[in-house]
Amino acid sequence: DKMSFDYGACLQCGRCSEFCSDKKIIDSGFVHVYSTDREALKVTYTNGMPDEKPEMETEEVKRFRKTTKKTGFQFREVAASGNNTTEAEINASFNALFDSEASKIRVVASPKHADALVYSGPVGPNMEEPLNTAWETMPSPKALVACGSEAVSGGLFKLGKLPKEPDLFIGGD
């Protein structure tokens, strides 16, 4: 028995388990939906077990990891025509409970000070140029992060033009 999911398009709502007529889908709770490879978020299950896919890491991603491990992770977020759920989750990660700043993760006001550009939303036509401008302003090494199902797959919309292929994909909303 095979079943495939695209976790890059999944909202992590668990509703598919309610609508599965033969009860083969069970909401198991949180699924790790991040990858440096978009195709790795497309998972096929055989008899309830995920098929293994080796994940490759580019030299650019390795260099970026090394840099941020030393100095912490500073990012600039661009809301690129999304529905604001991802922005709410990013904001919540800096509250007293999750306290991302304690892990040396910081939001910066300018892309000039950022290690990564995190964008949410499907990148509508009016946000293509601002996203590209923010990317071009950043110093190297730098990374582009697609955050939320709309940023990863477009969601219900066509995915707009990106400055480059994202270095990290984080699905869900």
Write down the pLDDT at residue 133.
98
Contact 137, 112 (CB under 8 A): yes
Domains in the chain, start-ordered, CATH in brackets? 2-50 (no CATH), 59-170 (3.40.50.12280)
Query: What are 44's strand-pairing partners?
Result: 4
Helices and strands per DSSP (H, E), number in the chain? 5, 9
Give the per-residue pLDDT at 156: 85
pLDDT in tens, 4-54: 888 888 888 888 888 888 887 877 766 678 888 888 888 888 887 888 877
